[in-house]
Amino acid sequence: MPAQLPDNAPDALTLAARPAIRHDWSLEEIEALFALPFNDLLFRAQQVHRAHFDPNAVQVSTLLSIKTGACPEDCKYCPQSGHYNTGLGKEKLLEIEKVVEQARAAKEAGASRFCMGAAWKSPRERDLQVVLEMVGRVKSLGLETCMTLGMVDTDQARRLSEAGLDYYNHNLDTSPDYYGEIITTRSYADRLDTLANVREAGMKVCSGGILGMGEAPRDRAALLQQLVRLEPHPESVPINMLVKVPGTPLEDVEDLDPLTFIRAIAVARILMPKSHVRLSAGREQMSESTQAMAFLAGANSIFYGDTLLTTGNPQVERDRALFDKLGLHPERRETCADDGQAEAALEEAIQRQRGGELFYDAAQA
């Protein structure tokens, strides 16, 4: 039976069609959207999507890991956690000049935004000093900047903003009720505090979650409710499909039905009409048909390239071929990399410069 809205609540279809941005969606209203007939849900999501975006434009980004592995967090999905033996080696923080070289090469190849990620619970002062200079130097090239560094307090967020950081990524991962089943080393309130600090500092927010970690349907609705409550909504909302990495506690969790995943994309689009909904981790395991349906449901952002931090991502040529089949094109307004040349240049530089002299150890106390 479809979920029922409260007697005094407007019909879910009416709510979905309203142009106003809402932050007060109830859990019952969101569950009612999830329960709509599939065709009705995608139709409504398409209406909302077309009211705010070019339906055939996709934001394309690249992401460089500037420090990998040895993270003290115990996130059960993550191969970078120091708590699990996943075969992922500990890497050091890339030195500033090498990051700038790679950013410059990316820009010359057509990139307009450069994204950097580090496996930390929170950046330490000496590491933050390096990161701040990275941001400033990359920003000086005329590139848009984005980072994910773990938790940041008000002072760290302010300093990152002053250095020129445009976007900060910090996912909520799952619902408040299920969160303790996935992570114990950082609270849900910690994550919300970081997002508040980022917003207060004037940066744009990238925040979403991971589906397929054994959560209940209500947890997926509750995750989206938490994102909707953020004012303003996150500019970017990555919806990740769990990548089951051997050695992590979730390596044997039951697969999520692809149609359930598509429903979440569609509901996210309806709830956050002006946000970019990013089809993020897990794309390599998705068929072309599933990805096409995700775009139809309102996804309009992807990470482009061979790797996504440490997990696989569809190769550039496969993405370009899929775009051609679907008649999609990169969105120029806020793209990190508009074509395969930028990703290829960046990947080549990483492989060429990964010698030990190019790094310093950011994983040691």
Which two tokens mark 350?
């990483």
Amino acid residing at 225: Q
> Is residue 348's pLDDT more than 90?
no
Instruction: Give 78's DSSP letter.
Output: -
pLDDT tens, residue by residue, 244-266: 777 777 777 888 999 999 999 99
Interval 338-365 mean pLDDT: 38
> Is residue 81's pLDDT more than 50?
no
Highest mean pLDDT among 101-115, 215-229, 282-296: 215-229
Global pTM?
0.78
Burial (0-12, 13-18, 19+ Cβ within 10 Å), 131: buried
φ/ψ of 264, rounded to 5, equals: -65, -40
Question: How far is Cα 237 from Cα 275, in angstroms, rounded to an integer?
Answer: 7
Average confidence score pLDDT of the chain: 79
Predicted local distance difference test score (pLDDT) of residue 68? 55
More confident residue, 104 or 210: 210
More confident residue, 310 or 268: 268
Q: Phi-psi bin for 175: left (phi > 0), alpha (psi -120 to 50), beta?
A: beta
Predicted local distance difference test score (pLDDT) of residue 162? 93
Predicted local distance difference test score (pLDDT) of residue 358? 36
More confident residue, 42 or 306: 42
Question: How far is Cα 206 from Cα 212, in angstroms, rounded to an integer?
Answer: 20
Polymer length of the chain: 365
Contacts 24+ apart (CB under 8 A), 283-289: 283/241, 283/313, 283/314, 284/243, 284/311, 284/312, 284/313, 284/314, 285/241, 285/243, 286/241, 286/258, 287/258, 288/322, 288/325
Residues identified as active-site: 71, 75, 78, 115, 146, 206, 278
Question: How far is Cα 264 from Cα 165, in angstroms, rounded to an integer?
Answer: 30
Interval 227-252 mean pLDDT: 87
